[in-house]
Amino acid sequence: MRTPIIAGNWKMFKTIAEAKQFAQEVKAGSAKAGVQKVVCAPFTALPALTEALQGSDLAVGAQNMHFEEQGAFTGEISPSMLKEIGVQYVIIGHSERRQYFNETDETVNKKVLAALKHGLVPIICVGESLEQREAGETSRVVRTQTEAALAGLEAGQVADVIIAYEPIWAIGTGKSSSAQEANETISVIRQVVAEAYGQEDAANVRIQYGGSVKPENIGSYMSQSDIDGALVGGASLDAASYLQLVNGSLQE
């Protein structure tokens, strides 16, 4: 039985004050147990957010990190710097980082290995562009990205990562993939894990869908056999909406 996981990705939104306000509202609201809850905030808001959420079951994630421990890498943040302030998750290889910041399959893999080494849970993003989808390349693209991201992991370690399937054309566009199509592609990703690491890891690894997920459509994704949660951008910015996503992710 895989525990559902709802992760918010705030992207470049929210000041420290706004992040604290969100934390207060979520803590005052009612969220069902049985769902793992994460919000991935900008670096500047992380210390205040981890402090504000202490004692709650909402974990904090970063949206990126460097794979090296330290060094002359101006503007970067290391895994141990994130650990030091209580961060537990880190998004790796989001399509916006692949598209605008030269993230490659190789750096994604280095970051995944570094995150695991430091006890951070990587949320690894994979997904095809509209062009690739229209050319019938979705399965090939997610297969390549998944194999590359997980290269060098030991059997058993794969169960510690989260994979997020995010078709690029569905991100922030209001055009979500149908739940059934998302499930089919996520089954391909699970199959890739099975081929590389065996059935047990494949059965345990949690795979989210991301791309225009809202409180209104979360239920349709969660009713699918292989979808274990969602990585949510826009709809995670509002505390009430985030709580609806969490509560809507549990199947009755």
Chain contacts with ligand G3H (rule: CB under 6 A): 9, 94, 166, 171-172, 210-213, 231-235
Closest CA to 239 of 11, 25, 27: 25
Please confirm, yes or no, whether 184 is among the known catalytic residues: no
Is 233 a known ligand-binding residue?
yes
Residue 234 marked as a ligand binder: yes
How far is residue 172's CA from residue 188's CA, in Å, rounded to a whole number?
24
Question: Known binder of ligand: residue 211?
Answer: no
In terms of Cα–Cα distance, which of 93, 82, 22 is closest to 53? Answer: 22
- The verdict on whether 166 is a catalytic residue reads yes
The residue nearest ligand G3H at its CB is 233
Nearer to ligand G3H, 197 or 242 (CB): 242
Rounded to the nearest whole angstrom, what is the least distance from the CB of residue 125 to ligand G3H in the complex? Answer: 7
Annotated catalytic residue, options 96, 103, 128, 166: 166
User: Was 11 annotated as part of a binding site?
Assistant: yes
By C-beta, is 53 or 92 nearer to ligand G3H?
A: 92
> What residues does 7 pair with on adjacent strands?
38, 231
Query: Smaller CB distance to ligand G3H: residue 79 or 167?
Result: 167
**Phi and psi (nearest 5°) for 86?**
90, 15
CA nearest neighbour of 198 among 243, 167, 153: 153
Crossing angle for the helix pair 138-150 and 179-197, nearest 10 degrees? 40
To ligand G3H, the closest distance from the beta carbon of 194 in angstroms equals 25
**Residue 10 labelled as part of a binding site:** yes
Task: Give the nearest distance from C-beta 159 to ligand G3H in angstroms.
Answer: 22
Q: Pick the closer one to ligand G3H by CB: 171 or 239.
A: 171
Angle between helices 105-117 and 138-150 (to 10 degrees): 40
What distance lies between CA 120 and its chain's CA centroid?
Answer: 12
Min CB(55)–ligand G3H separation in Å: 26
66, 94, 96, 103: which one is catalytic? 94
**Strand-pair partners of 207:** 163
Closest CA to 100 of 133, 155, 63, 48: 63
| Residues annotated as catalytic (active site), given as ranges | 94, 166
Q: What residues are designated binding site for substrate?
A: 9-11, 172, 212, 233-234
